[in-house]
Amino acid sequence: MADPISDVISKIGEGAAKLGESAKDVAEKAFSGVKDFTSNVAGQAQSMQKGVKLNSDLNSKKQELEEAYSKLGRLAYQHGGLSGEMQEVSDHIHEIYRELQAIELQINKN
């Protein structure tokens, strides 16, 4: 004949084991969720950082373009025509435009 106290202790042990398994499942799911969330946030932060850098690059190129136009205007006013250094500045302006277009394409991809 089975001892009632032993049966109770056995059932408590079985219940504790089931509770432990359930707690483990919950903890694993919580960890997985936190890991996924962290990964998502990190990805978004990288994307934002890239966008900020591209916008900074774009603004830098626009400033460079303004400076080149200003120099070209001064030289054209002083000399009346595009030759020598003025042609170099004009070529530089065209290069800046190409760089601006490349940066804008990258921004639009994001």
Cβ atoms of residues 96 and 65 within 8 Å: yes
Mean pLDDT, 10 residues at a time, over the chain (110 residues)?
A: 73 78 84 85 86 91 91 78 76 89 87
CA–CA separation, 108 vs 110, rounded Å?
5
3-state SS assignment for residue 1: coil
The pLDDT of residue 25: 84
Cα dist from 74 to 66, 69, 71, 90, whole Å: 12, 9, 5, 12
Prediction pTM value:
0.52
Give residue limits of the domains in the chain.
4-109
The pLDDT of residue 2: 63
Distance from chain centroid for Cα 25: 33
